[in-house]
Amino acid sequence: MAQVLPAPRLCIQYITTAVTYFIWRGATFRVPIATLHSRRTDGGLELLDIAAKCRALLLSRMYVQGARPGSVMAACLRNWFLNKCLLNPPKAAAYPTQMVHVRAYAIDMSYVPTPRSEDIPKLWRRRIYWVLHTMAVAAASVRPLRIVTLHPNHDWSRIWRNLITACIPDAVRSTWYMAIHDIMPTKERLQDCPHCKRPLYLLRTD
Chain segment 109-150, per-residue pLDDT in tens: 888 888 877 778 888 889 999 999 998 888 887 788 888 998
- Identify whether residues 175 and 149 lie together within a single domain: yes
- Identify whether residues 84 and 133 lie together within a single domain: yes
Q: How far is CA 64 from CA 2, 60, 113, 124, 177, in A?
A: 15, 6, 14, 11, 39
- Identify whether residues 202 and 124 lie together within a single domain: no
Q: Is 7 exposed, middle or buried, given 0-12, 13-18 or 19+ CB atoms closer than 10 A? A: middle
- Identify whether residues 160 and 97 lie together within a single domain: no
Where does a domain end: 118, 143, 168?
Answer: 143
- Identify whether residues 156 and 139 lie together within a single domain: no
Identify the domain containing residue 157 by its residue range: 144-206
- Identify whether residues 131 and 172 lie together within a single domain: no
This model's pTM is above 0.75: yes
- Identify whether residues 36 and 108 lie together within a single domain: yes
- Identify whether residues 113 and 168 lie together within a single domain: no
Instruction: Identify whether the C-beta of residue 177 lies closer than 8 Å to the C-beta of residue 46.
Output: no
Residue 191's pLDDT band, with cuts at 50, 70 and 90, is low
Q: How many domains does the chain have?
A: 2
